[in-house]
Structure 1
Amino acid sequence: MDPGSVVEGVGAGQAALPLTGVPEPLWAASPSKLLAFLDCPRRYRLQYLDRPSPEKRRQRAHTSVGNAVHHALRDWWDLPERRPDAGAGLVDRAWIDVGFRDAAQSAQWRGRMREAVTGYLADVDPARQPVGVERTVSFVSGELRLTGRVDRLDDRDGELVVVDYKTSRVVPTADDARTSLPLALYAAAVWKMFRRRTLRVELHHVPSGTVVGHEHTPESLARKVEQARSIARDARRADRDHAEKGADSELFPPRPGPLCGWCDLRAHCPEGQLAGPEKSDWAALDDADDRKEPRWTSE
């Protein structure tokens, strides 16, 4: 099966809209928006629907670390001379002291990421220009218009490969690459936009230099696109109910659990506050912290 047929909305088990009557506008989403609804409808409502938008807590340290590394790896491709050690200076330029316990912890992690980015870039061919760096991709399937951003898009032997950088303490596995909904949706979008076969997706863990990947099939990509459409249908139905009832809608139940300790909006969710203590700004950097990080922090 060509995933392009599903992306186009043909062959996905959905009848064409009748010619009489006005078709509904496309429902716009990103992979993070879909996962937010899937993980916790209450958080989804707070983030995407409630107005005025409730205030979020300040950025955590692991987000500051991840942003600096992503920006450094993006800007490296713009350098006139792409040396691995130049990555350290790019980390310095992108670094912000937000979320750390103190200046000493920030300096420690800044040094770690300087070394990590330099080591990672030592294995990157500077002459092999990617097809895209932080490239925005999108596709339409049925009533869903999905948009996302790919960290890096490589050309290997005539096929395109989706590369996603990771900076968390936990090293990803090949199963993480296989099951990732965002990676599969990026691959489907790239195939549609570039009209080139795109089946391989990879997670590059910068701190360890670990690279894990998965080779999708057209059928497995099509299943991921259909999964996204199913989530989108449920979310859109909830959106309509919220438009009518506001915060009184019952379609946004909280899902209390370990992720509540990481939620940026827990101050507005009584159930989430009762689920357990809030994680500190720097908790994800603590090797002694046995935790489960939310999926939305590492996208």
Structure 2
Amino acid sequence: MLPDVATEDLSAARRPALSPSRAGDFKQCPLLYRFRAIDKLPETPSPAQVRGTVVHAVLEQLFGLPREERLPERATDLVAPTWARLLEEQPELAGVFAEDAGWLDSAGKLLAGYFELEDPRRLEPEACELLVETELPSGVLLRGYIDRLDVAPTGEIRVVDYKTGAAPREVGEAKALFQMKFYALALWRLRGVVPRQLRLMYLADRQSLAYTPDEAELTRFERTLDAIWQAILRAGKTGDFRPNRSRLCDWCSHQAHCPEFGGTPPEYPGWPEPDAGEESLVDRAD
């Protein structure tokens, strides 16, 4: 019988990486990056984020079913047991919907929106919730999770990302596109093929946005990620992660620790080992 290997031992071998969410945090506010990636300050997820986690998990399970069973009513039936399993893993989420007894119905409406956008019986994805990890020539390690990867018989790749919020305005759309370019770059470096299409599916609005990247654009984006990572490393050496006040501060969970709001950050613990790039389930639900 093989000996058990502790999860901690496996994770300790992982190098610090850059994920779409953490790169976005640093672009938005270096101090927010520090709070999330280094200090790992606790955050209470919003009902919308938890609902998104459940919907993503249901869609992943849906594609694990035989084609003929991928029906709206089957997806709806998966919501309650998926929520029950999530509560087993994270019992602290129990209070998120304490005052919203009908939230399961709202998750069902998002799934109904998905079925208006496509028929899953006609699809056979290569993977769902796919972890991609690759090292750029500069040495930056990219790591992220792709909601769904479709590969045509001809080898063409489509990256699909489910969004459980409404279709965004300009700032939100740029953030979503940044995330998709991150995945496209990782896949290009891993497989040598530029994805044919990046598809964002906004389930609440029943809208689908498609984007076609090219090599030149992904090369420029690679330089952007290199620059972000170098800036993170410079800040990491000294702990100088400066706040960047903006309208997005209104939604930040860490104002009590932020100098912009009269707070004091925790004592800097130093650059984290092993990993400053991990994404949570809430990050991936988006």
User: Normalising to structure 1: TM-score of the pair?
Assistant: 0.71
Choose which of 55, 58, 63 in structure 1 pairs with 2:49: 63
Q: CA deviation at 1:195?
A: 3.4
Aligned runs of 1:61-100 on 2, under 5 Å?
Answer: 61-80=47-66, 81-95=69-83, 98-100=95-97
Choose which of 130, 136, 140 in structure 2 pairs with 1:135: 130
Separation (CA, whole Å) in 2 of partners of 1:165 and 1:227:
25
Match of residue 121 from structure 1:
115
Separation (CA, whole Å) in 2 of partners of 1:264 and 1:178:
19
**RMSD, aligned α-carbons:** 2.9
Match of residue 291 from structure 1:
none
Choose which of 31, 38, 56 in structure 1 pairs with 2:20: 31
Unaligned runs of at least 5 residues, structure 1? 1-24, 243-250, 275-295
Aligned-partner residue type, residue 125 of structure 1 = P
- Residues 267-297 of structure 1: per-residue CA shift (max 9 Å, x gap): 32242469xxxxxxxxxxxxxxxxxxxxx68
Pair 68,172 (structure 1): closer, same or farther in 2 beyond 3 Å:
farther
Aligned-partner residue type, residue 251 of structure 2 = W
Aligned-partner residue type, residue 194 of structure 1 = R
Match of residue 5 from structure 2:
none
Choose which of 133, 157, 160 in structure 1 pairs with 2:157: 160
Match of residue 201 from structure 2:
204
Higher helix share: 2
Flag the structure with more relative contact order, 1 or 2, with Cα contacts below 8 A and sequence separation at least 6.
2
The structure having more radius of gyration, on CA atoms, is 1
Aligned runs of 1:258-273 on 2, under 5 Å?
Answer: 258-272=247-261
User: Normalising to structure 2: TM-score of the pair?
Assistant: 0.74
Choose which of 124, 143, 147 in structure 1 pairs with 2:143: 147
Q: CA deviation at 1:187?
A: 0.9
Q: Does residue 218 of structure 2 align to residue 221 of structure 1? A: yes
What count of residue pairs does the alignment treat as equivalent?
241
Q: CA deviation at 1:116?
A: 2.6
Unaligned runs of at least 5 residues, structure 2? 1-13, 88-93, 264-282
